[in-house]
Every structure is written in C-alpha cells, then in structure tokens.
Structure 1
Amino acid sequence: MPLRVRESCMRHARRRVVRRVTRLAAVGGLLLGATMVTHAVAGEPGAPAAVPFSTAEETTPGPGAVVVAELGTSRTAGSWIAGDGATVVAVTDEEAAAEVRRAGAEPKLVRHSMDDLKTATKKLSSATRVPGTAWAMDYRSNQVVVRGDSTVSADDWSGLTEVADGIGDFVRMERSGGVFTTRVNGAQPILSTAGRCSAGFNVTDGKRDFVLTAGHCGPEGSVWFADDRARQEVGTTVAGSFPGDDYSLIRYAGGRAGEGAGVVAVGDGKGVRITGVADPTVGQRVFRSGSTSGLRDGEVTALNATVNYPEGTVSGLIESNVCAEPGDSGGPMFSEGVALGVTSGGSGDCRTGGTTY
C-alpha cells in the first residue's frame, strides 16, 4: 500500500535532502505494467500546497549527524564515512574533538567551520551567473570546490576565479570535462511531448497517488505515457519546480499507483524494498537506477551543491560519482533500502564517468 502522507501549505524550504522533494536526487523504479515507479516517502513541511509529504518515520541519523547538530555549525564542518567505515567529523577546536570521540566518531581538526563554507557558497551565488559552473562543499578537504565545464569561456572562468580568490584559499577551482546538462532525452519509461524521463518514487496524500520525478522533465500540464504510441497514460504533471529546485509530481490518471510499488527494480527480475528515507553522507556508497543506464553505484562526494544549468540554477543537490546519461532524470538514488534522492543532471556518461547531481 502507498505510504500515507500529509499535505503542507508552508513555503518550500530550500537545502533539504530527502525531506525536501528536490533533493530526492535519484531513487529507482518498480515496473508496474510498463511504468517504472517506486513507492515513496517524501519530506517535511515546506513545499507548495500541492506537494504531498510522507508521515513515515525517517531512519535514525548516525553519530556524525547527531554530534554535528549538538555542536553547531560554528564548531563543525560536516561529517563523512572514511574508507575503513569509520564516521569522521570535522571540528574547529579540541573541546569539540573530545565531544566527537565521546559520541563514538573520529574527529578531524580543520580551519574552516560550516558557517565559513556556507558564507563562501552564498558569495559565489551572488556573483554573476555563469552557465556551465557548479560548486559544492567538500567536507573531507574542508573546501568549497568550484567546477567549470567545457562551455565556460576563459573570461568567465577568470572572473569567477577572482571571486573565489576574494573569498579565501579554501575555495578550490577545477575545470571539468563534458557539459553540465539535465538528463531528459532518449529514455523510457515515461514519455510526453516535453521529453522522456525516469520515474522516481510514488507518493500519496491518502486519496491519490503521484509519481515524483525531476522538475525539468516537463511543466505542469504535461501528460505522460508508458509507451511511445501514447496508448497507456500514466498521468499528468500537477506540481513542480525548476529551476531553483528540480522536482515534479505526476498525478496518476487512475488515481492509484498499484500494489507492490515499494520495491525498487534493479534488473533481472530482482528488486530492493525501500523502507525509509535519510539524509545522505559524504563517502556513503549509493546506488542509482535509471531507464537509460540501469543500476549503477558509486559514492556521495559532496553535499549542498549548486549547478548552473543552461536553463537555470538548481541548489541544495547531492553530488556523486555515480554515472548517469540522458533519460536517467528523475530516477532514484538509494542505499541499503533507504531513499536518498532523484537524479537531476550532471556531466560525462557511463563510458567515461562523470559527476551526477
């Protein structure tokens, strides 16, 4: 059965992970008839009134998230999972380091707090917008990493570098191969005149069921089908946001998603049951499912990412090294049965690798 959700009339809060529908950056599909969907869980109050939110319990946060919340953003700078599986927390003083040890995690002393990192990203966001650029907080290096794809001119890159230099030496500039794009074209299973995308989660308000997918897949009013001859209607997009955010809701034409939608299909007739939602952690191993490239895995490399697509800017994203290709948009990301997000876009492909948000 669909997870029950509550409606929220509060303004959509930016920079949320799975609590916020936008940052559901990729959680794969169950094949219902010809439509790939997953049963869902969606977020906390703060979205437009048409967006439903789950009342299902979130998974218990790990020691890193707990101690970071207790110490605050002026004394910490994020947490991550190390190669040996240990939880590491970046702290700015020895007293905070002792608190981290008592919580069962490993401290790492750093120069810059989360407040410093957030200030840096705000200054970058206030600079002249340059399509083809992106930035994210790299907790492990205690830096904000700014990337520019192959479309960014030398003059624009030089201008953005000046902004970064003015912020401080903890802003790192990197040129990237490929082009930062949303991932719409050439995929199934949901198709409309607006393009082709991967369906993500099913969500419900208790009366009707919806497919949660990427907002750039199509505007409100887009009608989606499970076949390229427009014979099997899935539903109509009734709410969404892009750019700024990147999510949309497709209301099922029949009102309901169907039974068994809580399982993510991973190929060969196999699936993974989604049992909860959580915020991702840097270093966490994750899986992403998409209708073009199928099931892929990798790790979360950064959080709080901002991407300047040609169509507009999207912020509050998860950055990962899991590859994606056109048509994977809206498909799901998960880890050990826990939903983390839906795919927005990225650079590269599954032959050469790349960055996905």
Structure 2
Amino acid sequence: MSHKRIPKRKAAIAVGGVAALGAAALLLPNANASQSNGDDATPRTFKSTDVSDVASMLASQLGDAFAGSYYDASNKQLVINIVGNNSNVVNQIEKAGAVAHQVQNSTSELQAAAKTLKADATVPGTAWSVDPKTNEIRVTADSTVTGTKWDTVESTVKGLGSGVATLKKSAGTFKTFVDGGDAIFGGGARCSLGFNVTAGDGSPAFLTAGHCGVAAAKWSDAQDGAPIATVDQATFPGNGDFALVKYDDPNTQANSVVNVGNGQTVQINQAADAAVGQQVFRMGSTTGLNDGNVTGLDATVNYPEGTVTGLIQTDVCAEPGDSGGSLFTQDGSAIGLTSGGSGDCTVGGETFFQPVTTALQAVGATLGAGDAGAGDAGAGDAGAGDAGAGGAVDPSASASDAAGGAGDQAGAGADDQAGAGAADQNGAAGDQNGAVHDQSGAGMDDGSGVVTTP
C-alpha cells in the first residue's frame, strides 16, 4: 500500500471495526443540553462534560469542606462531597445546582493516604485512585502481586484505618503493550494514533501514548513503510503517558474526527476533563467500539517499566490491540489516550487513560487542525471514509455490519506483532482481525496498543 503526501491529504483518526453494537447504538448526535427549572434549591440536570467546570468552581469556593465530586448519570446530577455540616456550604452547592453529600474523609486525608501508599506500597502490578462515590481510595493489585508483595500492600491499606481505602485483586496484569490492528509502526513496535492536533509551532501532529514515543522516534502508517511522522516529545513513565508526534509533511491536514467504522465518524469538537460517573466511549481495532464509565481520577499505576501518575481509571473493557485508541464522549469531547489496563471484553477489567487536557497543556498543542481552530477542526473537506462532520453511528446497523468495521473498508491486511511492547519490541507475527487501511485518502489509521492479557 502506498500513500502520497499531497496538500489535500487528510489525516483522519481511523479506528478499527465496530464490534460493540450496543455502544454504537448509544452514540447518537445532539446529546441533551444542561437544563434548569429555575429553582435554586432543586438540582439541575447536567451534561457529563459540563460538570468538571462546576465542580472546579465549587472546590475553590468551599476550600477544606470540599471532598470530591462525581456525576450521577442516572439522574444527570452533579454530587459534591463535603465534610462537616455547614449550612452555608450546602447553600453554595445547591445554588450552583449540585447535590451536597456529607462524607467522612476530607480531600487532605485521602491525599495523605495516597502519599502513604506511594511510600510503602509502590509495587509493580498495583494501582490506586480516589473513588468519590465511596469516599475511599480504591487499591487494585493484579495477578503478579502475591506472597510478601501482597502482604505489604494489604498491611499498608489496613494501616490507613477503617473506611479510608479498599483493596481488591485483579485477574489480569497491568502492562503496556504495543500491539494490534489499525496501527502506526515504529522501530518494530506498533501503536495507535490518538487525536490529531496542531503543535505549538503550527505544524500538524498527533497525540499517542508516551511509551510509544519512547519506543521509536519515527512512525509509519504501514508495516515496514516509509516514516511519515517523528516524535517531538514523550513522557513515560512518570507524570503521565503521552507523546507528541509531528507529521513530516507540513501540508498534512490533521482533521479532528474519530472513525467508528462503516464510513461513520464522530467529530471531536473539544478537549474536556473527565468526571467520575461519566459515560465514555473507547475505540480500538481489536474489540471495536465499547462504552463504560469513568471510575476514578488522578490514578497511579505501577507498570513494570515504572510508575505513571495522573491517569483516568475506567471500567471500559479493552484487549491487546485496543491501546492508543481514543477515549471520547457522545457529544464529541476528547477525554483520554489509552495507557494500559488488565482483563478483556469477556470478563471485564480496569483500563487507564492519559487525560487529553493535561497532554495538550504539557506539549503546547491544540486539538485539531490549526486552520480550523482548536476544537473545531475537520468541519469541512470530509473525504471518503468520513460520514461528514458530526456524523453519528447508525443504531440500525446490524451486528454483522458492525463487526466488519473500518478495517474491512480497504482490505489491506497486516500481521499482528503480539506483545511488541515499549520495553520489548520482539513480538511474534501472527494473524489479526483488524486491517491497516487507507480510506481513499483519509490517511492515518488508528487502533492498536496498550492493554494487557488476562
């Protein structure tokens, strides 16, 4: 397969086949807007992408009384945790249209507990994040944490005191994998393009996982193909898992869409912070489109390669080959880049994502194409393979149609490099269901990378 880099070329985010019809049916346009009945004492209904701003405002106003927040998706309400029983605090929360919920642990107490975990229980295969729904720290240990390692983690959690943290065992393992279907290739590794962006110098670029950025400096959109992009910045491990990769052709049009298969796209209109309880969609070439909820923020994950902090934790299933795929919302907000996880789409598991907002700020980039403005790129010039700006998944699509997905639109097969990770790129070639494809000039393909095997 050859690709000509010409001025009108589009570099759309092309992700793999839609394998989850249930998730596809949920991804409809025109999500409900925030509403208020005008009664300050009655909770407002919010869009999930609006709650972060309100929660941040209340956090600054309430000070030490603020103990976290989450989105009640069933009622479309923002819940604010508070310590103490100050009526003025409750009034401020209700005036903002949110719901006040009294809890035991303050933010400072939970932060102190997290510091203790970092100091005493930083064991590879563990992860933790604050769960505002339970007002506790949720600690997870994967299948590699056994014997004295398990004893260390368990005793540390118990030492935090009653009602501060919970510990559970995960069936999988927390690892980073560079593996899978509709991919970008570099140095024997394979990863996924996350979201197209404009770099600080105005050049077209994309975001991907940081462990991909440290695995190889040059990336191609075809196995053994000529490089088309070069890593500019990469962070992994440490304070995040993200990389900025610049297209070598300055005329590349890095449109801001996610291709969810069958010629359907979702336009990405903005980058937004995640909120616990928020519904999110993840696209990847192995399992296609899947949805779930955000379960934790500011998560710490102790991978074999090192500790990564500041991640989003979710219950969205994923499997090897899905990593690097986009995490986004129904209304077209970019939320995260797949970092890693455990389990699969049969038994479930935990997945972790790099927040897009943090990555953009760190690398000095803006979402989408520079000539269209941040958050509004790709509104025009919808080429073949795109459903046009703002296209939505057709809920009437059959399961067999959904299973075909974007990978079947070109038919150019690719071999799977199972287990070709950032630290170990010697994966064996094998068969894979996804296909590297060029959707009539859509350009970059997406969908591989970072989740673990059970």
Aligned partner (choices 282, 288, 293) of residue 282 of structure 2:
288
Please list, as runs of the form range in 1=range in 2, the aligned pairs for 1:248-287 lying within 5 A after superposition.
248-258=243-253, 261-287=255-281
Q: Would the alpha carbon gap of residues 91 and 136 (structure 1) be closer, same or farther in structure 2, given more than 3 Å must change?
A: same
CA distance in 2, matches of 1:32, 1:298: 30
Q: Would the alpha carbon gap of residues 109 and 60 (structure 1) be closer, same or farther in structure 2, given more than 3 Å must change?
A: closer
Aligned letter for 2:212?
C
Note if contact 1:323-1:348 (Cα within 8 Å) is conserved in structure 2. yes
Please list, as runs of the form range in 1=range in 2, the aligned pairs for 1:1-357 lying within 5 A after superposition.
32=10, 36=14, 61-72=52-63, 74-82=64-72, 83-95=74-86, 96-169=89-162, 170-204=164-198, 205-219=200-214, 222-231=217-226, 233-244=227-238, 245-258=240-253, 261-335=255-329, 336-357=331-352
CA distance in 2, matches of 1:241, 1:113: 31
Structure in which a larger fraction of residues adopt strand: 1
RMSD over aligned Cα, in angstroms?
2.2
Report Cα offsets for 1:34-60 as digits up to 9, x if no partner: 9748xxxxxxxxxxxxxxxxxxxx978
Structure 1: segments with no counterpart, 5+ residues: 1-30, 38-57
Report Cα offsets for 1:58-80 as digits up to 9, x if no partner: 978443332123212x2112111
Report Cα offsets for 1:329-356 as digits up to 9, x if no partner: 2221111211111110000112221111
Paired position in structure 2 for 1:25 = none
Q: Would the alpha carbon gap of residues 118 and 223 (structure 1) be closer, same or farther in structure 2, given more than 3 Å must change?
A: same
Aligned letter for 1:100?
I
Aligned letter for 2:167?
M
Aligned letter for 1:93?
G
Aligned letter for 1:338?
S
CA distance in 2, matches of 1:98, 1:176: 41
Aligned letter for 1:274?
I
Q: Secondary structure of 2:155's partner?
A: helix
TM-score, with normalisation over the residues of structure 2? 0.63
What displacement does 1:111 show?
0.8
Note if contact 2:266-2:332 (Cα within 8 Å) is conserved in structure 1. yes
CA distance in 2, matches of 1:127, 1:274: 41
Note if contact 2:12-2:259 (Cα within 8 Å) is conserved in structure 1. no
What displacement does 1:146 show?
0.7
The structure having more radius of gyration, on CA atoms, is 2
Report Cα offsets for 1:122-163 as digits up to 9, x if no partner: 111112531111001000000001110111112111111222
Q: Would the alpha carbon gap of residues 292 and 128 (structure 1) be closer, same or farther in structure 2, given more than 3 Å must change?
A: same
Note if contact 1:198-1:291 (Cα within 8 Å) is conserved in structure 2. no
CA distance in 1, matches of 2:131, 2:51: 24
Aligned letter for 1:162?
S
CA distance in 1, matches of 2:321, 2:126: 22
Of residues 101-110 and 213-222 in structure 1, the stretch that sits farther from structure 2 once superposed is 213-222
How many residues are treated as equivalent by the alignment?
Answer: 304
CA distance in 1, matches of 2:245, 2:131: 34
CA distance in 2, matches of 1:60, 1:157: 37
Aligned letter for 1:66?
M
Q: Secondary structure of 2:154's partner?
A: helix
Report Cα offsets for 1:291-343 as digits up to 9, x if no partner: 33222111101111101111111111000011122232222111121111111
CA distance in 1, matches of 2:241, 2:188: 15
Structure 2: segments with no counterpart, 5+ residues: 1-8, 16-48, 353-454
What displacement does 1:253 show?
1.4
TM-score, with normalisation over the residues of structure 1? 0.80
Q: Secondary structure of 2:349's partner?
A: strand
